[in-house]
Chains A and B, each alone.
Chain A
Amino acid sequence: VNEAISLLALALSLTAAVARWRRAPDWAVAVGAAALLVIVGAISVHGARTALGRLGPTVGFLAALLVLADGCRRAGVFDALGALMAFRSRRQPRRLLGMVFLAAATTTAVLSLDATIVLLTPIVFATAARLPTSPRPHVYACSHLANSASLLLPVSNLTNLLAFTACGVSFTRFAALMALPWLIAIAIEWVVLSRVFADDLRQTGEPLPAGEGAIGRPPLPTFALTVVGLTLVGFGISSIVGVAPVWFATAGAVALTVRRPPDSIAELVSAAEPTFLVFVLALGVVVTAAGDHGLSSVVDSLTPHGSSLPALLAVAAVSAVLANLVNNLPATLIIVAVVSGSAPGAVLAMLIGVNVGPNLTYVGSLATLLWRRIVHAHDEDIDVREFLKLGALTVPATLVAATVGLWLSLQVF
């Protein structure tokens, strides 16, 4: 009975997150589901507390990173990036795409995929539209790189943060191992996107007359960029000085908040997405219960062990499939529990799967895709074929090549 209840609770929490019912927000449903599991005894109070204790620091780290990214927005980092991209592109669409790749890959790696999706993408859209050039390749690049360029650092993706605490490697070793897969993923995106969108990237006719929309070299928000740079340095030396990376993220977030305070406390709190943090914690408890009652053993039997290349490839593939079936966050919570005991190779291969995998379907999972098609078919006339085509062209190639890159890195570091 507990098995059925646990799986039902998991399904309910995920459905709430996808469906976004107005009367039952996902975080409330997930908290309710977790509480129900404790009450019926599917997970003990102690077990729930252990799960929360394990996730707590990660969620705190995430909150600090979200506030840091929002501080960058307030300081005008993304507006400045937009102006810089327009300036450097010299009005050539292909150069602009290069700039967008640079900006999106860096933003994703340093400030996480959320910053790229929420803060950078609208700026990129506006920048392209004002040139004027077709925003299509640039927006798709942001959307894709938010996933595939989130391999580099533990802070690039919540999935990385969850795995980082589980796999026990230092911040610098994580970065060293993932540098090659990250570069490979970006290179594949470049090759595919610049080919698929070749027509949109061709600028014919003369550039705009001088004076009209002339762009000068924009000033950069040096304070915010320095803070972000120092925070990164802090991450790098965290294992040497024996201070957890979360404190450097917190220091960075505090510095940006003090220098340019938000309009209200509410703005600061909403930047940290408290409801999302609660959702992650509650989902962690639900997934732990589901894992204890059979889900872990099923995933365990599907996941090969060891650090050989075929094993890593299989882990990446299973993770990518799972990320597309149930979305990458629950997929990570499920798989981390299974592979956390093994060598870092398996955990990092899992990350390649759950981070790159979501590019395969439109919004990160098949369930979301189906839901969106039903709900938004009438008010939003969206053609998802382009996204699916790009996913089919990039994801399998990236999964294989990036995992081979990881395997090579594991031989060196």
Chain B
Amino acid sequence: MRALIWITESSWQACIDQARALVPADAEVTLLHVAASDVEYLAGHPGPGRLGRRRPPPPGPPVREIAEAEAQALLERARERLGRDAQLSARRGRIEREVLEAAEGCDLLVLARDGEPRREPKSVGHYARFVVDHAGCPVLLVWSEPPPGLEQMHWPPHLRR
């Protein structure tokens, strides 16, 4: 069995903790992090209002290098927390697309909710929503923090008692 665990900066701990408990011991695990290319581009390419300027980038590691180093560090931290052998995969591009491509051929995709911490559709943010909707394999969608109880849930009118 091949399992892919997609981690993000904000919810990787919860995602790893639940994956550790739920992913079968014999599964071949890959940890995935995706860096958004538009953010990197915006940080590294002086853009708005700079007509005619052509300045060399300031000294120091370029944005791409920093992004790659931090992604690698995050993946290694996640593997340590997972406590088992896992392949590390750092990709960059459009997040939804990269995750779906990485998940192709996998038997399980683990990801965390990335939206509001409430029981409602918005608890799945737009990246995770797209991935869940389009994934070709079974998806394990975990809470990134303990879910609120049913009694706190806002029921739509037709389901109210």
Q: Is B156 an interface residue (CB 8 A)?
A: no
20 contacts between A and B (CB under 8 A): A17-B51, A18-B51, A26-B52, A30-B52, A117-B48, A119-B58, A121-B42, A122-B63, A126-B61, A129-B67, A130-B66, A131-B9, A134-B8, A143-B42, A205-B12, A330-B51, A364-B47, A364-B49, A383-B37, A387-B38
Task: Say yes or no: A147 contacts B49, CB within 8 Å.
Answer: yes
Q: Is B39 an interface residue (CB 8 A)?
A: yes
B131 CB to closest chain A CB, in angstroms? 14
Q: Is B14 an interface residue (CB 8 A)?
A: yes
Q: Is B53 an interface residue (CB 8 A)?
A: yes
Task: Say yes or no: B58 contacts A386, CB within 8 Å.
Answer: no
Nearest residue, chain A, Cβ from B62: A122
Contact residues on B (Cβ < 8 Å of other chain), bracket: 35 or more
Q: A118-B58, A202-B10, A202-B117 are in contact. Are A382 and B41 (CB under 8 A)?
A: yes
A125 to B66, CA, bound (A): 9
Task: Say yes or no: B14 contacts A205, CB within 8 Å.
Answer: yes
Q: A129-B66, A143-B42 are in contact. Are A17 and B52 (CB under 8 A)?
A: yes
The listed residue (A134, A359, A382) touching B37 by CB distance below 8 A is A382
Chain B residues near A119 (CB-CB < 8 A):
58
Task: Say yes or no: A276 contacts B54, CB within 8 Å.
Answer: yes
List residues of A (250-277) whose CB comes within 8 Å of B's CBs. 270, 273, 275-276
List residues of B (34-82) whose CB comes within 8 Å of A's CBs. 36-44, 46-58, 60-63, 66-67, 70, 73-74
Task: Say yes or no: A383 contacts B145, CB within 8 Å.
Answer: no
Nearest residue, chain A, Cβ from B115: A199
Task: Say yes or no: A359 contacts B48, CB within 8 Å.
Answer: yes
B residues in contact (CB < 8 Å) with A: 8-14, 36-44, 46-58, 60-63, 66-67, 70, 73-74, 93-94, 112, 114-117, 125-126, 144-145
Q: A202-B10, A381-B94, A386-B38 are in contact. Are A143 and B144 (CB under 8 A)?
A: no
In the A-B complex, the 6 residue pairs with the smallest Cβ-Cβ separation, listed nearest first, are A205-B13, A125-B43, A129-B70, A199-B125, A204-B144, A279-B52
Task: Say yes or no: A122 contacts B60, CB within 8 Å.
Answer: yes
The listed residue (A17, A200, A273) touching B55 by CB distance below 8 A is A273
Nearest residue, chain A, Cβ from B53: A276
A92 CB to closest chain B CB, in angstroms? 11
Chain A residues near B13 (CB-CB < 8 A):
204-206
Q: Is A60 an interface residue (CB 8 A)?
A: no
B7 CB to closest chain A CB, in angstroms? 10
Task: Say yes or no: B36 contacts A136, CB within 8 Å.
Answer: yes
Chain B residues near A88 (CB-CB < 8 A):
none
Task: Say yes or no: B36 contacts A132, CB within 8 Å.
Answer: no
A200 to B14, CA, bound (A): 16
Q: Taking each of A275, A276, A365, A382, which has the highest tally of chain B beta carbons within 10 Å of its own beta carbon?
A: A382
Chain B residues near A14 (CB-CB < 8 A):
51
Task: Say yes or no: B51 contacts A135, CB within 8 Å.
Answer: no
Task: Say yes or no: B144 contacts A205, CB within 8 Å.
Answer: yes
Chain B residues near A204 (CB-CB < 8 A):
10-11, 13-14, 112, 117, 144-145
Task: Say yes or no: A143 contacts B47, CB within 8 Å.
Answer: yes
Task: Say yes or no: A73 contacts B58, CB within 8 Å.
Answer: yes
A364 to B53, CA, bound (A): 13
Q: A205-B12, A270-B56 are in contact. Are A135 and B43 (CB under 8 A)?
A: yes
A165 to B80, CA, bound (A): 60
Nearest residue, chain A, Cβ from B40: A125
A358 to B51, CA, bound (A): 11
